Amino acid sequence: MPNRRDFLMSLSGLLAEGSLSPAESMRFAVSGFILWGRDADLQRIDQGIRNAKRFGYKGIEPYVFDVNRFLDKPKVIKDKLDEAGLSLVTLSGGGVFTELSKLPQTIEYNIHLIRDFIAPFGCKHLKINVEPDGERPAGGTTPDQLKTIAAGLNELGKRTGDLGLKLGFHPHIWSAIENEREMNAVLDLTDPKLVYLVPDTAHLVLGGMDPVKVVREHYSRIVAVHIKDTEAKYRNWRGPTPTKEQHAHASLYKPLGAGGVDFPAFFGVLHERNYRGWVTLDVDEPRAGEASVEEYLAADTKFLRDTLHVL
C-alpha cells in the first residue's frame, strides 16, 4: 500500500483514461479486511459499516479471520448491516484441496460456513481460496493435484448448490491456482453448473494473466468480481510471480489507477455483458505508517466515480 504522500498525490492526480456509462446493475462492496481488520470487535465493525455507507458502498465482504468472534452468532453482525441498509456479500472460505485425504474435512468446513454463518444473510455465493496458506510445489501445481482440486470443487459445488448458493474459486498468487494454466485446467475439469469463478484483477495480473481476457473468455463462469490495482510495471507481466517477501517489504497492491490493470477495458466488458453481480474492492488493512482507511477509500472511490463512472 502507498504512504500518505502517495495517497494525497493520487487523490489530486488521477488520470482519466476514458469513461463508461453508469453500471447501475453492478453492486459495489468493500473488503472487511480494510474496514474491520483481523478479529474485529463491535467497535471496529461499527466504524467499518459507517465507512462503507459513507463512501456509497452497498455491501461488505469479510474474511473468516475478520469475524472470528462472531462465527457462532451471525445475527449480531446481520442486525448491524440490516440497520445500515448494507449486505454481506459472502464469507471467504477455502482450505486444502490438493490432498485427497483432506478433501472431506475441507468440504465439511466450507459447508459449516454456509449453514452456520452465510445462509442467515441471504448470500448467493461462497468464495473460496484454494490452498491459501500452502506452499506451491516447485514448478507449480501438478496435473494430478489439479485433478484432485477439481474433484473437490465439484463435490463442494454440488453441496453448495443443494444449499441454494453457487461456489466460486478465486485464483490467487501463492496459492494452488495462481496462473492461467492452472486456472484453465480447473475450469476445464469442473462442471460449469457447479463451479464458478471469482477473479481478482490484481491477482490475475501478478499471476501473468490479462483480466480483460479472463472476463471476456470466461464470463459465463463468473459469479463475483474482486478489484484492486498493482504497479504499472506489472501490466502484461510475464515474469516470475512476485514473492511473499516482496509483498512483506512493500505491498504489491496499489490504489485503483496505479496502472497495472486496464480498468476501463475491464469494466467495459462487464458493462457490455450487463453484469449484475457484486464487485468487491478487496484491499488489505493499512500497514503502519501508510494512509488511513478513509484516505484509501477516498482515493479508490474517486477513481471509480470520476474516472470510470461506474459507482
**Is the Cβ–Cβ distance between 284 and 250 less than 8 Å?**
no
pLDDT at 286: 80
Question: Residue 236: left if φ>0, alpha if ψ -120 to 50, beta else—which one?
Answer: left
- Three-state DSSP at 243 gives coil
Q: pLDDT band for 11, please (50, 70, 90 cuts).
A: very low
285 closest CA partner among 2, 34, 20, 15: 34
25 closest CA partner among 222, 273, 219: 273
pTM of the model: 0.90
- Mean pLDDT across 203-211: 97
Specify the CATH class of 4-12+25-307 in words.
Answer: alpha beta
**Is the Cβ–Cβ distance between 187 and 164 less than 8 Å?**
no
pLDDT at 137: 76
**Is the Cβ–Cβ distance between 262 and 236 less than 8 Å?**
no
- Three-state DSSP at 283 gives coil
Q: pLDDT band for 32, please (50, 70, 90 cuts).
A: very high
